[in-house]
Amino acid sequence: MPQIPENPRVLVTGASGYIGGRLVPELLEAGARVRVTGRHADSLRAWDWSDRVEIAEADLSDRMAVRRAVEGMDVVVFLVHAMGGGKGYADREARMARIVADETARAGVRRIVYLSGIHPETEELSEHMASREQVARILREGRTPVVVVQAATVIGAGSASFEIIRHLAERLPVMPAPRWVDNRIEPVAIADVLHYLTAAATAPDDIAGTYDVGCGEVLRFRDLLTRYAEVAGLRRRRVIPLPVPAPLLSGLWIGVVTPVPARTAIPLAQSMQHEAVPHDRPLSDVVPAPEGGATSYEDAVRAAIASQKAGDLASTWDDDDTMDTDPAAPLPPDPDWAGHTVYTDERERTDPAATPEAVWTVIEGIGGRNGWYSTPTLWWLRGVMDRALGGYGLARGRRDPRRLRVGDALDWWRVEAIEPGERLTLRAEMRMSGRAWLQLGVTPAEGGGSTYHQRAVYFPDGLIGRLYWWAIFPFHALVFPAMARNILKAARTAKG
């Protein structure tokens, strides 16, 4: 097998996800020529690096799409994983792995780099971790050499693991916890994960095998909480282990206390039943270690806290890197609504004192800490209901306090489309019997000022969906007019 060239052609799958979105610029900096794939090309085009890469929209369960994506590549970085992907996700991941293994061999790809998790070799694994190991096994059985990079808890601003640690430590001075908090674990900084993935993808030598990465210190999970508190300047935290494993209950508990919903927290909690201590060769045996050596846990936490405070989140745990089915397909054009039951709530207000630029600034800054410019109590109650049903509620917030891009999570919405200065389309990801969107827009008003446009669209599923709409209709009569009124008010204030 020929060596990897000096400027390799690298395909990054799941490039709009937490790891992928951060890895792409690292690969570009290392001289790689990068092609990226994701299920939605628009989400990929929204990244700052999009004009420096080749974009290929592809679902990894589509063999022909994968065949086109891997053609001409030297290296494929496999980052797609369905955290909380619903029933049958392990089978879907296995199918994707087989397709990637087959098509990379067919195309003559020289190396696959796969990010997996550290786990014990002798215990029965959780479904989440077993699926990751199954993918690694399938890839290794193929003809393309594979570098499996195994990491435990990744510490970085916006990662699911870090958000769990941060919120538990900040909100609970005393934490009754399941007994797995005494399990041993070696965390790793996101910066080191990116370094090693880049090194594994661009290394000229023929390398293959399973390797571990970490911070160089084995801790207990409870130490991650107490040491976070020390670094963050909080009072000493007490963690009290209880004599029960309770993976389901602890996942639900995490889902209540942190922004990570139960459907994601439960598989994470189940995986925490296992110790995550490196036992394979360190990857630094075959590629260079980060300059200055491994990042300590405390330094990784400091970097993550600094990024959070600065609002410098290139990506978050809920970016679109999974293969979960979208809660709603893209909003169809109005003519396509014919023959369907569709409910809408449309508002339009003109304000001669608010400039279009000021109104757009308010629209693009909506959600998260900025709120929804409506009746806060009703909005909060709807968020509580959604969390109780296993949804996101208002806990996700937003990645950037001022700017949005396609694919961004925004509380219980996701940015489906954005026309800067004109219109924002949000797709609902709340728990309900139907599909919903919210559009906010602005146009210059004749004679000066602005006309604000607001439209909520709901496609109900069956009788329950129709009952849902009429049950919340009285609340819409309060929420939506207030939103339109207050957005214009905020725009006038900003203008002044």
Model confidence over 427-436: pLDDT tens digits?
998 888 888 9
Q: Taking 70 as the threshold, does the pLDDT of residue 325 lie above it? A: no
1 within a domain of the structure (yes/no):
no
Domain closes at, from 294, 310, 326:
310
180 within a domain of the structure (yes/no):
yes
Measuring CA to CA, which residue among 354, 359, 375, 351 is closest to residue 423? 359
In this predicted structure, which of 4-18, 94-108, 153-167, 343-357 has the lowest mean pLDDT? Answer: 153-167
CA distances from 345 to 147, 230, 458, 480 (A): 52, 49, 9, 8
347 & 242 share domain? no
What is the pLDDT averaged over residues 227-244? Answer: 85
304 & 439 share domain? no
CA distances from 49 to 36, 46, 313 (A): 11, 8, 15
Q: Taking 70 as the threshold, does the pLDDT of residue 350 lie above it? A: yes
Q: Taking 80 as the threshold, does the pLDDT of residue 51 lie above it? A: yes
At 192 the pLDDT is 97
319 within a domain of the structure (yes/no):
no
pLDDT above 70: percentage of residues in the chain? 88
Give the type of residue at 96. Answer: M
d(CA 307, CA 494) in angstroms, rounded, equals 27
At 86 the pLDDT is 55
At 323 the pLDDT is 42
Please report which helix (H) or strand (E) contains residue 9, including its range.
strand 9-13
At 391 the pLDDT is 76
Reported as a pLDDT band with limits 50, 70 and 90, residue 106 is very high
At 26 the pLDDT is 97
Reported as a pLDDT band with limits 50, 70 and 90, residue 338 is low
289 & 377 share domain? no
**How many domains are there within the chain?**
2
What is the pLDDT averaged over residues 370-392? Answer: 83
At 124 the pLDDT is 76
339 & 285 share domain? no
249 within a domain of the structure (yes/no):
yes
In this predicted structure, which of 25-34, 336-345, 452-461, 470-479 has the lowest mean pLDDT? Answer: 336-345
Q: Taking 90 as the threshold, does the pLDDT of residue 43 lie above it? A: no
288 & 341 share domain? no
pLDDT, greater one: 335 or 168: 168
At 392 the pLDDT is 78
pLDDT digits (tens, 9 = 90+) for 253-295: 676 667 776 667 777 777 777 788 888 899 999 999 999 999 9
At 32 the pLDDT is 96
298 & 343 share domain? no
| Joined tokens for residue 389 | 């049903």
| Joined tokens for residue 277 | 């201590």
329 within a domain of the structure (yes/no):
no
317 within a domain of the structure (yes/no):
no
What is the pLDDT averaged over residues 309-335? Answer: 58
Reported as a pLDDT band with limits 50, 70 and 90, residue 316 is low
Highest mean pLDDT out of 40-44, 220-224, 275-279, 301-305 = 301-305
Entry field: residues in the chain: 496
Measuring CA to CA, which residue among 178, 267, 281, 258 is closest to residue 221? 178
Reported as a pLDDT band with limits 50, 70 and 90, residue 21 is very high
Look up the CATH number of the domain holding residue 41. Answer: 3.40.50.720
300 & 339 share domain? no
112 & 177 share domain? yes
Reported as a pLDDT band with limits 50, 70 and 90, residue 407 is confident
At 4 the pLDDT is 85
At 263 the pLDDT is 67
265 & 363 share domain? no
Residue 424 is classified by DSSP as: E
39 & 180 share domain? yes
Look up the CATH number of the domain holding residue 478. Answer: 3.30.530.20
326 within a domain of the structure (yes/no):
no
Residue 45 is classified by DSSP as: H
User: Rounded to an integer, what is the distance from CA 62 to the centroid of its chain?
Assistant: 22
Domain closes at, from 260, 276, 310:
310
At 218 the pLDDT is 93
Q: Taking 70 as the threshold, does the pLDDT of residue 112 lie above it? A: yes
Reported as a pLDDT band with limits 50, 70 and 90, residue 321 is very low
Domain closes at, from 278, 310, 342:
310
322 within a domain of the structure (yes/no):
no
Tell me the whole-structure pTM to 2 decimals: 0.79
Q: Taking 90 as the threshold, does the pLDDT of residue 111 lie above it? A: yes
* Mean pLDDT taken over the chain: 86
In this predicted structure, which of 92-101, 241-250, 288-297, 362-371 has the lowest mean pLDDT? Answer: 241-250
49 & 92 share domain? yes
Domain containing residue 26: 9-310
At 156 the pLDDT is 92
Give the type of residue at 138. Answer: I
d(CA 247, CA 130) in angstroms, rounded, equals 16
305 & 342 share domain? no
Residue 330 is classified by DSSP as: P
| Joined tokens for residue 247 | 């993976």
Q: Are 21 and 158 contacting, i.e. CB atoms less than 8 angstroms apart?
A: no
Q: Residue 373 — left, alpha, or beta (φ > 0 → left; ψ -120 to 50 → alpha)?
A: left
What is the pLDDT averaged over residues 384-398? Answer: 78
pLDDT above 90: percentage of residues in the chain? 49
Question: Angle at CA 444, nearest 5°, toward 441 and 448?
Answer: 140
d(CA 404, CA 419) in angstroms, rounded, equals 11
